[in-house]
Amino acid sequence: MKIKVILHTILKKYAKGKILENDTIILYEDTTLQGLTHYLAIPEKVGIIFLVNDFPKEKDYKLCEGDEVKLFSLICGG
């Protein structure tokens, strides 16, 4: 299935060589958001907020053909 993936902040570095033209990526059917992070090799210790079609979703959400996924890292500062 084909989805659109947009990585923000420090997560952009994980797109290199994995996200195709027009921010698309091809994954197996029934891939979850957690599966997407594994595919992109984003370490589990990185806190991530997921938006799918502009709605917040949990990491066990199963992606569907044509979904647009935005990933944001949790950034702390002081």
Model pTM score: 0.89
Percent helix, strand, coil in the chain, to 5, is 20, 30, 45
40 has a pLDDT exceeding 60: yes
pLDDT tens digits, one per residue of 11-38: 989 888 898 889 999 999 999 999 999 9
The radius of gyration of the chain's CA atoms, rounded to the nearest angstrom, is: 12
Backbone torsion region of residue 70, taken as left when φ is above 0, otherwise alpha when ψ lies between -120 and 50, otherwise beta: beta
Q: What is the CATH number of domain 2-73?
A: 3.10.20.30
pLDDT tens digits, one per residue of 60-69: 999 999 999 9
